[in-house]
Amino acid sequence: MWPGKGLQWWCQRLGIAIMHILIPFIRSSRSVLMLLLLMLCVEHKAKQSKEIVVERVFSFFFHLSF
């Protein structure tokens, strides 16, 4: 790692890069919403327990599927 760049900075850059790569391949708006929610959960997982984040992701996917 370069000096002055923390782990959170690197995670944000990696997330942005992954989104730029994946979005052109995603066809439906539902998939885009799920991807954005997943990135949001990953960004905030340091503040919350892992179980809460996983529970929110699964409940969101469940609501979108019906």
Phi first, then psi, for residue 55 (nearest 5°) are: -60, -45
| pLDDT one-digit tens code per residue, 44-58 | 655 556 666 667 767
In a domain, residue 51? The reply is yes
In a domain, residue 41? The reply is yes
In a domain, residue 37? The reply is yes
CA distances from 6 to 10, 18, 51, 58, 65 (A): 7, 19, 24, 29, 37
For the chain, how many structural domains are there in total? Answer: 1
In a domain, residue 33? The reply is yes
In a domain, residue 8? The reply is no
In a domain, residue 9? The reply is no
In a domain, residue 3? The reply is no
In a domain, residue 65? The reply is yes
Collect the ranges in the chain with pLDDT lower than 50: 1
Instruction: Pull the structure tokens for residue 32.
Output: 């885009």
pLDDT recorded at residue 1: 46
Which structural domain range is residue 32 located in? 27-66
